[in-house]
Amino acid sequence: MIPPTRLAAILFVLAGIVVPVGRAEAQGLIWSLPADGTWVRYEGTYEQTVHSADPTSAMPQTKLTWLRKTEIKSVGREDAEYAGQATPCRWVEIKTVTGKANPDFPLGIDPGPAGTRVYKVLIPESRVLGKTVDEAGIPVTFLPIVMGHQKIGDGPVQALGGGVLQVYPSLTLLQHYPAIEPQSAQPEDAQIRFAGGPVAAVRHVASHTSEGPTNRTANEAEFWISGDVPFGLAKWDVGLTRMEKDAAQPRGAFRLASESRERMEARQTGTDAKNEAPSEIAVP
């Protein structure tokens, strides 16, 4: 029998690799750029329920919950070439730590070997639009970057390819959605415990379903966009359902494989952001 602590580590690693990677998301975690040096910290939980493929199993499902904290920081400005010309850009660090509560670790979380994930990206400031369509009415389906690197757990530093910021599924369950619908005409109280004070936000809902020969995923999200929180996101609640089958089986054979849920809200902010990423991906 696998010890509970070992099982938790295995399921968490799986949580980061079994989810199919979708397209880049519409701005994702970044909807605005505050003054350089600003940071915001989100706190919440990440849950995963894994369902057994064996209907006779004595453990038909295993559910685990981890604490999660995500920090977004603006840690430098510089001009860089983008679209063939020198463009004002911003270095942004995004760090997500997931694990069990432990006061002996930074942020009070023991992340294990794969629970700390850091992205360092250089973003053209002009491309942070803070909306779902641009001036021409074209959906904003990605946030471009000039360059970037990532470090996942104890793994090596790797360059981010593709020229876009892709935070799903490594940093968050938020992803690209074909349509994002606001649920109110005016901002309302986000009802979060934010150290920066009261937060007025507009609730949005979105969903995305994808299917392949062996898996089907359904992602449903609620998120609150606000001008009162640095980078523009006040909180989010995302559920992800994953189904599986053998490639030769018909579509009706899909079975429930796992359910994941991420609930996060802004808690703290400040203006003294420092680069804390590994030296290999520090701002030059």
Is 281 in a helix, a strand, or coil? helix
Average the pLDDT over 101-115 and give the result: 95
Two structure tokens written together for 237: 């609640």
The residues, ordered by sequence, that sit 6+ positions from 176 with a Cβ below 8 Å of its Cβ are 22, 23, 24, 25, 26, 141, 142, 168, 208
Check if the beta carbon of residue 115 is closer than 8 Å to that of residue 98. yes
The residues, ordered by sequence, that sit 6+ positions from 165 with a Cβ below 8 Å of its Cβ are 24, 28, 30, 119, 121, 123, 142, 143, 144, 145, 148
Residue 5 has pLDDT above 50, yes or no: no
Residue 17 has pLDDT above 50, yes or no: no
Give pLDDT tens digits for 235-265. 999 999 999 999 999 999 999 999 999 999 9
Average pLDDT, the chain: 87
Query: How far does CA 193 lie from the centroid of its chain?
Result: 20
CB atoms within 10 A of CB 218: 15
Work out the angle at residue 211's Cα, subtended by the Cα atoms of residues 209 and 212, and round it to the nearest 5 degrees.
160
Quote the percentage of the chain above a pLDDT of 90: 71
Instruction: Check residue 197 and give left, alpha or beta (phi > 0: left; psi -120 to 50: alpha).
Output: left
Give pTM, 2 decimals.
Answer: 0.87
Give pLDDT tens digits for 205-225. 999 999 999 999 999 999 999
Check if the beta carbon of residue 10 is closer than 8 Å to that of residue 2. yes
Helix residue ranges per DSSP H, the chain: 4-17
Two structure tokens written together for 26: 């519409």
